[in-house]
Amino acid sequence: MTPWQNQPIQPKQQKKKKKTEMKEKSVLWRELKRFQGKPRIALIFMLLLPLLYSAVYLHANWDLYSKIENLDVAVVNQDVPVKMGDTLVSGGKQVEDNLKKTPGFKWNFVGNDLEAAQQGMRDGEYYLIIHIPQDFSKDLTSAGTLEAKRAKLNLYRDDANGFVAGMMTAQTESILGKALDEAVAETYFRTLFISLDEIKTGMTQAAEGAAKLDEAQKLTTSGISQINTALTNVDLTALQQKLTTLQTNIHAVNQVGPEFQSAHNEIHLGVSELAGVAESQATDIASLKLNIDPLKKWLSEDLKNSHGKALELATLNTELTSTKDTALTRQLDQSLSGATAATSELGKLTLADGTALQDHPEYKNLVADIESAQKNQKEIDKNIRRQAQISTTLALELNPQLLKAMADSLENTANSLEAAQGKIQSANQHFKTGAQMSTDAVSNLHTALAPLQQAGSDSLQDIPKAINGFLQLQNGIAKLDTAMPQISAGTHELSTKLADGAAKIPGLSEDNRNALAKTMASPVDVEMQVYHSAEYYGRGLAPFFLTIALWVTAISMFLVLRTLPGRALTGRAPAWKLAWTGLSTPMFMGIGGSLIMGLALWPTLGMNPVHPVEYIVLLIVTAAAFVSLAFLFRLYLGSTQSAIFIIFLLLQLPASGGTFPLALLEPFYQVLGVISPMRYTVDAFRVAISGGNLTIFWQSVAILFLIFLGTLPLIMHKIHKKKLFTMNDLHPKFVTSAATSDYAFSVHPR
């Protein structure tokens, strides 16, 4: 090798190496400089995309609940006031008054027209209707009865006017509930304290009455003690002996009285029966004579007429039932037979429509009627013949001469009985006189003995009961004598306790009752102390929306940028340098956009993070982790990366816990939350913005940083493999776009 050949080699190699290093250092600048003219707008858009996304959503939702007074709520009051004691309770008006004093929604009091309010809701004029029904006050005051009911308010909302608006109006339930509970409870407690005064008055009066009862019990105790002493001194043995002697004498008198009474009863019975027979016989004879005269008159006058009429009736029956052709029954039978024959002949005729007459319904009815008439005629003929027989027999039996002879004999017998009756009555009169004298004597004796007998019998029956009752009275009085001191002691204690109880019940004035009623209606003041308060609705949602904004940026990043210049793969630079070359531009855009977003929201919306340094660190680490993930998937999958990241976004929206805690979600999303990068970003942003446990913050940041570090070896491995070209790399079969990284590994210049 000649000297001139050796001399320039080393400087040339050093110059080439230095030139390569310069190219690597300026790759970021050259990649950005590649965008000329209008494409630069895309770079600016990528830097502002996180800010635009988060600012629009957070600004729109920053302090929603401070503007709920713009939501129209209709109040319909159909309540009918009721009386509660001396107080008129108008619960509906009370609700309206409380709502007027309650800040919140835009209250519209529309009277009692519920239909108009519902039409307003359908038209989108009202977001909520509060309906106070007719029985609202009635149900409120029912707590004072045994049929208490819970008062009810009806709330109507229409999610067609906006579901979120409906959810915001749902807080009226707690507002109304608190106002109503306090108002109603205040009314009840005021009534209770009035009743308490009445109870105290009643207890005082009861204590005074018990004291008087105690004094009366002392007097009663003394009297019962005296009665017990007197009853103890009674000699029951001597009294029992005297009563036994009296019982023996009364028993002897009782034995004589029944014997004498039996003899007298027998005599009196015989006389009574004899007198009865005589009187009955005289009555029967007189009645017989009275009945004979009309009988004789009837036999001599009316019987002849009756006999002639019986003969005439027999003659008429003969004419009806004669076998001659002139007999009426025979003529009627012949007429019905002729009618039957005629209808039979008529049945053979045919009507104009070709129908046989015998099939016609009316013809059938006529035949049935004639047959029924024939049956009835035969029955009539049978009955008339029976009547003729009876009439003939009656005419024979009504013989005037025979009956007159019988009447004359009966009259003679009656005259004989009347003569004998006079003698019987004379003898009966003597018996009646003697029996009456005996009756008077027995009656006097019975009258004298009956009271004595009854008194003796009753006394003998009641004396053992009286003695037994006296013994029971003596025992009862003894027990009562023992119990009365105890009753007196109990009455004294009752009086004392009632007085003590009445003294313990405070006397309340009207002001005291009102103050106590208000206190008891709301006995507890609930104070909520919120740690690390988000203050605003939007500030509370900021961790969620900031995370989404950075993830959306990672999705959109490679629609503008490319992962790696194609010519870089043909150089001699190692894979880690190429990885840095490709990552530098997306990382710059991602971190830059993240910082612009976080710092711009700070003064404009009032983000005011509690931990500002941690807040900025988190913006950088999150952007780096999301961009490196997107870069990795872009290298491996090409343009499919955008679709994959959108799917990841959809899955992580619930799993990140940005809206609802993971404990409320389905098990699938709880498991997914463990591996969700967005979940750790949301947790860290919460601590950085609102404050909290910094351990959670640094754990989340560490996981995000590990994601960033974990993607780097995979990126370098893929780039190293791409440095080995295949025919498909040199001559791509399909290129989807000249402006995206689908040309990332093409050797064609761009």
Domain membership of residue 438 (yes or no) is: no
Q: Are 107 and 99 in contact (CB under 8 A)?
A: yes
pLDDT at 190 over 80: no
The pLDDT assigned to 708 comes to 94
Say whether both 167 and 296 belong to one domain: no
pLDDT for residue 9: 40
Give the model confidence (pLDDT) of 55-101 as tens digits: 776 666 676 666 677 788 899 999 999 887 667 878 888 888 878 87
* pLDDT confidence band for 745 (50 / 70 / 90): very low
Is 512 a member of any domain?
no
User: What pLDDT score was predicted for residue 581?
Assistant: 75
Select the highest-mean-pLDDT range: 83-87, 496-500, 562-566, 688-692.
Answer: 688-692
Q: Of 388, 418, 448, which one is at a domain's C-terminal end?
A: 418
Q: What is the 3-state secondary structure (H, E, C) of 668-714?
A: HHHHHHHCCHHHHHHHHHHHHHHCCCHHHHHHHHHHHHHHHHHHHHH
Q: Which range is most confident: 136-150, 243-257, 497-511, 612-626?
A: 612-626
Assess whether 52 and 82 both reside in one domain. no
**The residue to which tokens 């009854």 are assigned:** 454
Residue that is last in its domain, among 395, 418, 441: 418
Sign of CA dihedral 407, 408, 409, 412: positive
Higher-pLDDT residue of 493 and 693 is 693
Mean pLDDT score across all residues of the chain = 72
Contact 435, 264 (CB under 8 A): no
| 8-state DSSP, 725 | -
Average pLDDT over residues 149-169: 72
Question: pLDDT value at position 169?
Answer: 62
Strands (E), 562-683: none
* Residues 622, 617: Cα–Cα separation, whole Å: 8
Q: Which residue has the higher pLDDT, 7 or 477?
A: 477
User: Are residues 314 and 291 both part of a single domain?
Assistant: yes
Q: CB within 8 A of 44, min separation 6: which ones?
A: none
Asked, for residue 476, whether it belongs to a domain, the answer is no
pLDDT (0 to 100) of residue 460: 58
Local confidence band at 394 (pLDDT 50, 70, 90 cut-offs): low
Higher-scoring residue by pLDDT: 377, 745:
377
pLDDT in tens, 124-143: 888 889 999 998 888 877 76
**510 has pLDDT over 90:** no
Residue 142 host element (H or E): none
Q: Are 445 and 256 in contact (CB under 8 A)?
A: no
Taking the CB of residue 372, how many other CB atoms lie within 10 A of it?
10
Give the position of tokens 């001399």.
Answer: 7
Residue 26 resides in a domain: yes
Least confident of 184-193, 196-205, 275-284: 184-193
- DSSP-based three-state secondary structure for 72: strand
Give the pLDDT score at 619. Answer: 94
Domain extent, residue 158, equals 68-191
In the prediction, which pLDDT does 539 show?
Answer: 84
Per-residue pLDDT of 396-427, as tens digits, reads 666 666 666 666 766 676 676 666 666 666 66
Please report which helix (H) or strand (E) contains residue 105, including its range.
none
The C-alpha torsion from 529 through 534 and 540 to 542, rounded to 10°, is -160
Domain assignment present for residue 147? The answer is yes
276 and 324 part of one domain: yes
Query: Would you say residue 623 has pLDDT above 80?
Result: yes
**Which of helix, strand or coil describes residue 748?**
coil
- The answer on 370 and 315 residing in a single domain is yes
Q: What is the mean pLDDT of residues 290-301?
A: 67
Q: What is the CA radius of gyration of the chain?
A: 66
Q: How far apart are CA 618 and CA 542, in angstroms?
A: 14
Which comes out higher in pLDDT, residue 398 or 658? 658
| Residue 74 β-bridge partners | 108, 129
Residue 291: its pLDDT value, please? 66
Return d(Cα 645, Cα 630) in angstroms, integer.
Answer: 8
| Cα distance between residue 117 and residue 126, in whole Å | 8
Q: How confident is the model at residue 614, as a pLDDT?
A: 94
Residues 141, 271: one domain? no
Q: 736 pLDDT exceeds 70? A: no
Examine the domain organization and report whether 75 and 41 are in the same domain: no
More confident residue, 126 or 665: 126
- Percent of the chain past pLDDT 90, that is, above it, reads 10
User: In this model, does residue 622 exceed pLDDT 90?
Assistant: yes
> What average pLDDT does this structure show over 664-687?
89
CA separation for the pair 425, 93 (Å, rounded): 107
User: By C-alpha distance, which of 145, 141, 155 is closest to 73?
Assistant: 155
Residue-wise pLDDT tens digits, 603-621: 888 888 999 999 999 999 9
pLDDT tens-digit readout, 462-483: 666 666 666 666 676 766 667 6
pLDDT at 83: 81
Q: Please report, to the nearest 10 degrees, the dihedral formed by the alpha carbons of residues 613, 615, 621, 622 taken in order.
A: 180
Does position 6 have pLDDT exceeding 50, yes or no?
no
CA distance 632 to 644: 12
Query: 322-326, 382-386, 546-550, 712-716: which has the minimum mean pLDDT?
Result: 322-326
- Does some domain include residue 13? no
Instruction: Report pLDDT for 128.
Output: 87
**pLDDT given at position 37:** 59
Most confident of 81-90, 232-241, 257-266, 632-641: 632-641
Same domain, 578 and 716: yes
pLDDT of residue 88: 80
> Same domain, yes or no, for 162 and 278?
no
HSE-up of residue 130 (Cα within 13 Å, Cβ side): 27
- pTM of the predicted structure, to 2 decimals: 0.49
CA distance 40 to 375: 129
25-34, 543-552, 714-723: the lowest-pLDDT one = 25-34
Structure confidence at residue 47 as a pLDDT band (50, 70, 90): confident
- Span 629-641, pLDDT tens digits: 989 988 888 878 7
pLDDT for residue 748: 36
Per-residue confidence (pLDDT) for residue 428, from 0 to 100: 63
Q: Which amino acid is at 117?
A: A
132 has which bridge partners?
77
Average pLDDT over residues 573-588: 79
CATH code of the domain in which 101 resides: 3.40.1710.10
**More confident call, 452 vs 543:** 543
User: Do 291 and 398 belong to one domain?
Assistant: yes
551 and 619 assigned to the same domain: yes
Contact criterion met (CB below 8 Å) for 210 and 491: yes
Calpha distance 508→197 (Å, rounded) = 7
- Proportion of the chain in helix, strand, coil states, percent, rounded to 5: 75, 5, 20
Q: How many domains does the chain fold into?
A: 3
Domain boundary among 130, 160, 191: 191
Determine, yes or no, domain membership for 553. Answer: yes
Same domain, 284 and 171: no
Q: What are phi and psi for residue 656, nearest 5 degrees?
A: -75, -15
5 pLDDT band (50/70/90 cuts)?
very low
Residue 489 lies in a domain: no
* Angstrom distance (rounded) from CA 744 to CA 634: 10
262 pLDDT higher than 50: yes
